[in-house]
Amino acid sequence: MSAPKTLFDKIWDAHLIDESDDGTCLIFIDRHIVHEVTSPQAFEGLRTAGRKVRRPDLTLAVPDHNVPTSDRAAGIDDEESRIQVETLDKNCQDFGLRIFGMDDIRQGICHVIGPEQGFTLPGTTLICGDSHTATHGAFGSLSFGVGTSEVEHVLATQTMIQRKSKNMRVTVDGELPLGVTAKDMILAIIGEIGTAGGTGCVIEFAGEAIRSLSMEGRMTVCNMTIEGGARAGLIAPDETTFEYLKGRPMAPKGGAWEIAAGYWKTLKSDEGAKYDIEVTLKAEDIVPQVTWGTSPEDVVPITGAVPDPADESDEARRNKMERSLEYMGLEPGIAMRDVKIDRMFIGSCTNSRIEDLRAAAEVAQKAIDKGRKVADHVDAMVVPGSGLVKAQAEEEGLDRIFIDAGFDWREPGCSMCLAMNADKLTPGERCASTSNRNFEGRQGPGGRTHLVSPAMAAAAAIAGHLTDIRDLD
């Protein structure tokens, strides 16, 4: 009998085309998602070299980073943004690729639409020129975020050159307490391992708390794997996965579904499989999380306070902490719950799916019931992840709840997660955000970001300051 394998080993082995003596591997890529920001130079490279797209049938394109989230009838105001979106259209036409254009109801954030369409499938290899490609790992798809050179490489050859990463497993045992979400779980994990904790690794997420998550929750966890520095995140597919995928437009149908599902059920780590690194957390210990600094590892429980750099012995880390606090305009020792906010953003490939919107809308409804609304000094925007998420939310009446509670209900796209379109913070503005990065200037130059879950974001918008969602009841 062969040695027990991890889930990562199994998917890797099933895609290995060639391995050199020095360990450099060539692997086959089953799925490729292309967006407008990291692809123009790749298509230009193909043109210059006279190369074609090897497998147009395995590629799906969508504009998301630059698209406006306000009324789109007038097109895109910003010339450079418009050129990028138009260039993607033209490249797809020239190279024969499927694209969900800005006016297509299926348009949305690339990491929302792949799963939504059933383009993302268990056991596949998937790449996209975006670091949050890790999201698709929620389906047991080995998914890598790459740069433009690798986008071009995959377009030209449908393969990727890579050394095999190490196996890391993060197990979350037990049951999450009430009010604690997948977002809090992944922030707590990053707080534990650090932003470079997963460097060189593929992380498999396991344990009862992970298994109990919905697909939306699993996507939130895998999405932020990159914030822990890992190459990819993976969760073994199970009935929850199959139930989500069945009937999706691009998922296999009929007899093909049965055969595929039979194979997918084998996609789990073998008993006794070896991991290079193991980390275990107890779900019961996790409380709602919030970031205080400018790296996702700068995270504390909402019940905590801004840490003091004086307590940090490592000089480089102390420098970074001091720099972060100055940037964030925070003093050590301030209770996180006392931090006043100016803006709130619900959206991004981390938290813009239907379940995220339901969680936020529930908080908004409670506020309405108590005669409350978004605080006067707070501007709160809700940006659904795709046209289909938006339509479903509207069918469920969530848009009305948001609007009645004083939130701004918008069109789908990446929006203020990275401020490439018109949605951005102005210098000094402080935002409770469901996105994935609190880097300096991420949501606009000088903007200050606190990462939280959708429910925590909505609660902060209503309270006017960061707040513990558990205090609402």
Partner 1 sequence: MEKFEKLTSVAAPLPIANVDTDMIIPARYLKTIKRTGLGEGLFANMRFKEDGSDNEEFVLNQPAYKDARILVAGNNFGCGSSREHAPWALMDYGIKCVISTDFADIFYNNSFKNGMLLIKVGPEELDLLMDDAGRGANATVTVDLEAQEITGPDGGVIKFEIDSFKKHCLLNGLDDIGLTMEKEDKIASFEESHKAAQPWL
| Binding to partner 1 in span 47-76, by CB under 8 A | 49, 51, 58, 65-66
Closer residue to partner 1 (CB): 261 or 374: 261
Should residue 356 be labelled a site residue for partner 1 when binding is judged by CB under 8 A? Answer: no
- Under a CB-based contact definition with an 8 Å cutoff, are residues 343 and 430 in contact? yes
Should residue 5 be labelled a site residue for partner 1 when binding is judged by CB under 8 A? Answer: no
d(CA 185, CA 183): 5
What are the two backbone dihedrals, phi and then psi, of residue 18, each rounded to the nearest 5 degrees? -155, 145
Which of 10, 136, 153, 353 touches partner 1 (CB under 8 A)?
153
Least distance (Å) between residue 395 CB and partner 1: 30
For 430, the 3-state DSSP assignment is strand
Least distance (Å) between residue 106 CB and partner 1: 20
Should residue 121 be labelled a site residue for partner 1 when binding is judged by CB under 8 A? Answer: yes
Least distance (Å) between residue 473 CB and partner 1: 36
d(CA 291, CA 23): 39
- Looking at 36-109, list the stretches that DSSP marks H as alpha helix, in order from N- to C-terminal side: 40-49, 79-95
d(CA 340, CA 330): 11
Partners of 135 in the beta sheet?
none
Residues numbered 398-427 forming contacts with partner 1, rule: CB under 8 A: 418-420, 427
Which of 259, 310, 334, 335 touches partner 1 (CB under 8 A)?
259
- Joined together, the tokens standing for residue 131 give 């670091």
String of contacts with partner 1 for each residue 280-319, x by CB under 8 A: ---------------x-x-----------------xxx-x
Closer residue to partner 1 (CB): 121 or 380: 121
Least distance (Å) between residue 409 CB and partner 1: 24
Closer residue to partner 1 (CB): 28 or 242: 28
- Under a CB-based contact definition with an 8 Å cutoff, are residues 456 and 302 in contact? yes
Which of 439, 464, 470, 472 touches partner 1 (CB under 8 A)?
439
Should residue 323 be labelled a site residue for partner 1 when binding is judged by CB under 8 A? Answer: yes
The upper half-sphere exposure of residue 434, i.e. CA atoms within 13 Å in the direction of its Cβ, equals 35
Residues numbered 225-244 forming contacts with partner 1, rule: CB under 8 A: 226-227, 229-231
Q: Quick one: which of 170, 141, 199, 205 has its CA closest to 10?
A: 141
Should residue 106 be labelled a site residue for partner 1 when binding is judged by CB under 8 A? Answer: no
Find where tokens 């999450």 sit.
Answer: 176
Helix (H) or strand (E) holding 192: helix 182-193
Least distance (Å) between residue 469 CB and partner 1: 27
Q: Which of these ranges, 32-40, 274-282, 344-352, 376-384, lies near partner 1 under the rule CB under 8 A?
A: 32-40
Total number of residues shown for the chain: 473
Least distance (Å) between residue 51 CB and partner 1: 7
Which of 124, 135, 181, 386 touches partner 1 (CB under 8 A)?
124
Burial of 130 (0-12, 13-18, 19+ CB in 10 A): buried
Which of 4, 24, 47, 310 touches partner 1 (CB under 8 A)?
24
- Under a CB-based contact definition with an 8 Å cutoff, are residues 467 and 367 in contact? no
Residues numbered 195-224 forming contacts with partner 1, rule: CB under 8 A: 195-196, 199-200
Closer residue to partner 1 (CB): 50 or 371: 50
d(CA 410, CA 347): 10
Should residue 381 be labelled a site residue for partner 1 when binding is judged by CB under 8 A? Answer: no
d(CA 309, CA 247): 52
